[in-house]
Amino acid sequence: MRDLLEAWADIEAVDHHCHPLWRFTRPVTAADLRMLFTEALDGAMARHVPSTAVYRDALRRIAQELDCAPTEEAVLRERKGREPAAHAEALLRRSRTGTMLLDHGFASSETFSIAEHAEAIPVQQREIVRLEVLAERRLGGVRSVDEWFAAVRSSLRQAAEAGAAGVKTIAAYRAGLRLRRHAAGETAADFMRLKERAQRGEPVRLSGAPLVHGLLFEAALECRDQGLPLQVHCGFGDPDEDLAEASPLGLRPLFTDPLYEGLKVVLLHCYPFHREAAYLCAVFEGVHMDLSLTLPIAGLDGGRAMREALGLAPWSKLLYASDASRLPEYFLVAAAVHREALAAAFQELVERRVLTQDEAIDAGSRVLAGNARELYRLSG
């Protein structure tokens, strides 16, 4: 396993799904550090986080990097004494992230804007457009659901021309992933209700299957036309979503309807449906997957997920991503855990004489960078 890790040491990964960092001026508390390594939103969960494998392992890795004791207090004290930009740069360099495909949809007023992030973080960056946020912004000036769909498609075309690398949907959060076509009348009625809320100046949050799935079907056509990979949040995430409705198997219409021939779909996170995702990668040419978030959040189970994914999915379909956000510590931890899980899985294949050492090195480097470069048509 050590040999594989060393062979990949010089590979600058393409992190094809991550989020922007907090501005460096934001103070970081123990609660922030704990909530970084859990999908819980309830602050009361913070007291349980130290009783998780992921957090203990993360503290150990961060402390090793900062050369301090593996405790929360020591890590916070040590990072506070460092210049924030230099600290972030050092951790990102250690994570060997060469390119970030950034989803700015998961951001707050404390997060760097797109322009600020590009300026502050010395890593190559490309944008991934978050579909639902874009669609909510395009409600003004449209009178019908068809005009709205057309406006969204036109914005996706513009984003592609401006250099966006792909599109991401959080339909799992807003409607679940059991995709189906809804009656035109139902979609139109939901649209009018959403439009009226927007006109009254109320906060607009796109939700419900008729609109969310209708939008997804339209966006998939535009992604197909523009050659933009469509990232789909699958599997676990924060408790806003109904996990029972987040299996990628529900996306079947995108894989079987000839309308979407040529569409590239990337299943994100996947756990605990990583076996279902691996199956879809094995039978549908356009489907890809990652284990972002699964590694490291699933702790001990993350390594098993990697092994199970590689059992069925071709390694030409598996992509590296961290799903990191807010703090550079997450990039560091996710990268280390991910590379180790990848090395353990491929080492097993070498030991069983399924692959030679050189083939395993090549396959792993594809997962870390090559597959994403090809899929997102990245240069370099």
Q: Provide, rounded to whole angstroms, the least separation between the CB of residue 293 and Zn ion.
A: 7
CA 234 vs CA 90, 207, 339, 378: distances in Å: 31, 17, 22, 24
Q: Provide, rounded to whole angstroms, the least separation between the CB of residue 106 and Zn ion.
A: 6
CB of 35 or CB of 363, closer to Zn ion: 35
CB of 15 or CB of 323, closer to Zn ion: 323
Interhelix angle 53-66/72-80, nearest 10 degrees: 40
Q: What b/e sequence results for 346-377 when a residue is b if at least 16 CB atoms lie within 10 Å of its CB, and e otherwise?
A: bbebbeeeebeeeebbebbbbbbbbbbbebbe
Q: Provide, rounded to whole angstroms, the least separation between the CB of residue 355 and Zn ion.
A: 31
Q: Which residue is nearest to Zn ion (CB)?
A: 323
Q: Provide, rounded to whole angstroms, the least separation between the CB of residue 323 and Zn ion.
A: 4
Q: Provide, rounded to whole angstroms, the least separation between the CB of residue 233 and Zn ion.
A: 7
Q: Provide, rounded to whole angstroms, the least separation between the CB of residue 172 and Zn ion.
A: 11
Q: Provide, rounded to whole angstroms, the least separation between the CB of residue 249 and Zn ion.
A: 21
Total residue length of the chain: 380
How far apart are the C-alpha atoms of 287 and 144, rounded to whole Å? Answer: 32
Map residue 231 onto helix, strand or coil: strand
How far apart are the C-alpha atoms of 182 and 241, rounded to whole Å? Answer: 21
Strands (E), 29-188: 97-103, 124-130, 166-169
Q: Provide, rounded to whole angstroms, the least separation between the CB of residue 168 and Zn ion.
A: 8
Q: Which residues bind Zn ion (CB under 5 A)?
A: 323
CB of 176 or CB of 210, closer to Zn ion: 176
CB of 104 or CB of 197, closer to Zn ion: 104
Residue 254 makes CB contacts below 8 A (sequence gap 6+) with 179, 220, 230, 260, 263, 265
Map residue 31 onto helix, strand or coil: helix
CA 147 vs CA 92, 154, 188, 222: distances in Å: 43, 10, 11, 15
CB of 148 or CB of 236, closer to Zn ion: 236
CB of 131 or CB of 145, closer to Zn ion: 131
How far apart are the C-alpha atoms of 372 and 314, rounded to whole Å? Answer: 14
* Token pair in block for residue 205: 């949050």
CB of 20 or CB of 286, closer to Zn ion: 20
CB of 149 or CB of 376, closer to Zn ion: 376
